[in-house]
C-alpha cells in the first residue's frame, strides 16, 4: 500500500515537473506592464454588476494617505533638563508622623525611557477588525543633585522612576460602506513598581473610548464619541472627535483624535511623511514602593498617585527604512499640564469633572518647568 502511494507520488511529481518545464517560458517572468500594450477592452468593465445580488460593501478602517498603523514599535524617549518643584504633603497622613515634609526642588538633568508596543490583528475581515495590543513605557529620572533630595516623591522618582504596562484592544465594526463603530479599551498598571514585583490588580487603570463615525469618501473619515481617560493624569469622561482627511493631491492631510492628539500631515511620498501637531500624554502613577524601609513613612500605605499629564507639541518625521520597517523621529516641546498627587484610599477613584463634580484638593501640587524632548522608534507597519 505504502509502495503504491509512493509510486503515485513519484509519477505525479515527475509529470508535474514536465508540465512545469513546458510552461516555464510562459510564466517565468510575467511582465507587470501588461496593460500598456495588451488588447483588453477595458471599456466593458464600466458596466458590471455583482454576481451575488446580496453582496454588501463595508467601509475600510483606513483612508487613502493615512500613515501606516504600527504593529510592533520599539522606541526611546528623552527629555532634556528641567526643574521639579515638589510640594509638601498638604494633608496629614494617618501613617506619617513626619507627613509635613518640606517642599523641595529637584534639578532633573534628563529623563528618559524605553517605549515598547505591539498591536496584533486577531480578526481582520472586511466586516470586522479586532486587534489586541500590549505596551510598556518607562520614565527614569536622572537628577543633578540626587543625593541631596529630601522630598519623598522626588526620592521615589530618583530611585524607581515610573512605569506603565498595559494591554489594549481595538474593535472596528463597519455598519455599511459609509458608517462605522470604533471601540477602544485598555487596562494599565502605572506606578513606580518593579518588574519583578507587580502591583495588585485593584490598582489597574481602565480607559475606554467609543466612536460612531462616517467615511463619506476614500479620503475622509470623521466620528464623534465619548471616552474615559487618564490622559491628563486624573480620571475624566470627555467627548472625542475623530477627523482623518487627505486632500485630492495626497500631499496634505490631518490625523486627529481630539483632544488626545491632532496632527497635520505632509506626505512627501508614500514612504516619507512629516507631521506637525500635539499629543496629550499622561497616566495616574501609584507610588507603590517603600524606598526607605528605615523611615516611618511607608509609601505603600499612603495611597498616593502622581497625576501626570503633559502636552507634547511636536514635529514628527516617519519614513520607510526598508520595506515594512519604518522609523519615526520626533522632536518637540513638553509642556507640563499636571504633576500633582492625589491620595486614593484603597484605589478608590476621585472624579473631579474639571471641578464641576468635586473640588477635592490634591495632597501635593507640584510644578515642572518645560524642556525640549526627542523620541525615536523603529516600527513594523501594517499592510
Residues in contact with other proteins by CB under 8 A are 7-8, 11-12, 15, 19-20, 23-24, 26-27, 30-36, 38, 40, 42, 44-52, 55, 57-58, 60, 64-65, 68, 71, 120-121, 124-127, 129, 177, 218, 248-249, 269-271, 323-324, 380, 382-383
Which residue, 44 or 147, is less far from other proteins as judged by CB? 44
Look at residues 104, 156, 145 and name the one whose alpha carbon lies nearest to residue 298.
156
Closest CB to other proteins among residues 71, 149: 71
Nearer to other proteins, 13 or 92 (CB): 13
Dihedral sign computed on CA atoms, order 281, 287, 288, 294: positive
Q: How far is the CB of 146 from other proteins (least distance, A)?
A: 43
Q: Hey, CA dihedral for 358, 363, 369, 373, is it positive or negative?
A: negative
Question: What's the min distance (Å) between Cβ of 32 and other proteins?
Answer: 5
> Which is nearer to other proteins, 130 or 337 (by Cβ)?
130
Backbone angles phi, psi at 373, to 5 degrees: -140, 160
User: Is the CB of 200 or the CB of 216 nearer to other proteins?
Assistant: 216
| CB 84 within 8 Å of CB 104 | no
For 112-132, letters b (16+ CB in 10 Å) and e give: bbebebbbebeeeeeeebebe
Tally Cβ neighbours within 10 Å of residue 6. 10
- Nearer to other proteins (CB atom), residue 12 or residue 300: 12
State how far the Cα of 283 lies from the Cα of 369, in Å rounded to an integer. 19
**Terminal Cα-to-Cα distance of the chain (whole angstroms):** 47
Q: How far is Cα 205 from Cα 92, in angstroms, rounded to an integer? A: 26
CB of 6 to other proteins, least distance (A): 11
Amino acid at each position: 500500500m505504502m509502495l503504491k502511494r509512493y509510486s503515485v507520488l513519484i509519477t505525479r511529481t515527475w509529470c508535474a515537473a514536465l508540465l512545469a518545464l513546458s510552461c516555464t517560458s510562459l510564466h517565468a517572468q510575467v511582465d507587470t506592464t501588461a496593460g500598456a500594450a495588451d488588447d483588453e477592452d477595458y471599456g466593458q468593465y464600466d458596466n458590471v454588476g455583482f454576481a451575488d445580488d446580496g453582496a454588501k460593501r463595508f467601509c475600510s478602517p483606513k483612508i487613502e494617505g493615512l500613515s501606516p498603523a504600527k504593529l510592533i514599535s520599539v522606541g526611546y524617549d528623552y527629555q532634556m533638563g528641567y526643574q521639579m518643584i515638589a510640594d509638601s504633603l498638604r494633608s496629614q497622613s494617618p501613617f506619617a508622623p513626619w507627613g509635613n515634609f518640606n517642599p523641595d526642588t529637584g534639578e532633573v538633568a534628563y529623563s528618559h525611557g524605553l517605549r515598547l508596543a505591539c498591536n496584533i490583528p486577531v480578526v481582520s475581515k472586511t466586516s470586522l477588525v479586532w486587534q489586541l495590543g500590549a505596551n510598556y513605557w518607562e520614565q527614569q529620572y536622572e537628577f543633578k543633585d540626587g543625593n541631596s533630595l529630601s522630598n519623598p516623591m522626588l526620592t521615589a522618582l530618583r530611585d524607581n522612576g515610573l512605569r506603565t504596562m498595559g494591554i489594549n484592544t481595538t474593535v472596528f465594526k463597519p455598519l455599511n460602506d459609509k458608517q462605522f463603530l470604533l471601540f477602544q479599551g485598555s487596562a494599565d498598571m502605572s506606578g513606580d513598581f518593579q518588574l519583578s514585583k507587580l502591583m495588585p490588580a485593584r490598582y489597574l487603570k481602565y480607559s475606554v473610548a467609543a466612536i460612531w463615525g462616517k467615511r463619506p469618501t476614500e479620503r475622509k473619515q470623521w466620528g464623534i464619541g465619548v471616552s474615559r481617560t487618564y490622559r491628563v493624569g486624573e480620571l475624566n469622561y470627555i467627548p472625542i472627535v475623530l477627523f482623518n482627511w487627505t486632500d485630492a493631491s495626497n500631499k496634505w492631510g490631518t490625523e486627529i483624535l481630539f483632544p488626545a492628539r491632532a496632527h497635520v500631515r505632509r506626505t512627501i511620498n508614500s514612504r516619507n511623511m512629516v507631521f506637525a501637531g500635539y499629543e496629550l500624554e499622561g497616566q495616574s502613577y501609584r507610588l507603590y514602593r517603600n524606598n526607605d524601609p528605615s523611615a516611618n513613612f511607608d509609601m505603600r500605605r499612603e495611597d498616593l498617585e502622581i497625576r501626570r499629564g503633559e502636552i507634547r507639541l511636536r514635529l514628527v518625521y516617519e519614513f520607510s527604512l526598508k520595506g515594512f520597517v519604518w522609523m519615526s523621529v520626533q522632536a518637540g516641546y513638553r509642556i507640563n499640564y499636571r504633576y500633582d498627587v492625589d491620595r486614593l484610599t484603597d484605589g478608590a477613584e476621585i472624579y473631579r469633572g474639571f471641578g464641576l463634580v468635586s473640588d477635592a484638593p490634591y495632597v501635593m501640587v507640584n510644578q515642572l518647568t518645560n524642556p525640549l524632548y526627542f523620541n525615536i522608534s523603529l516600527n513594523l507597519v501594517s499592510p
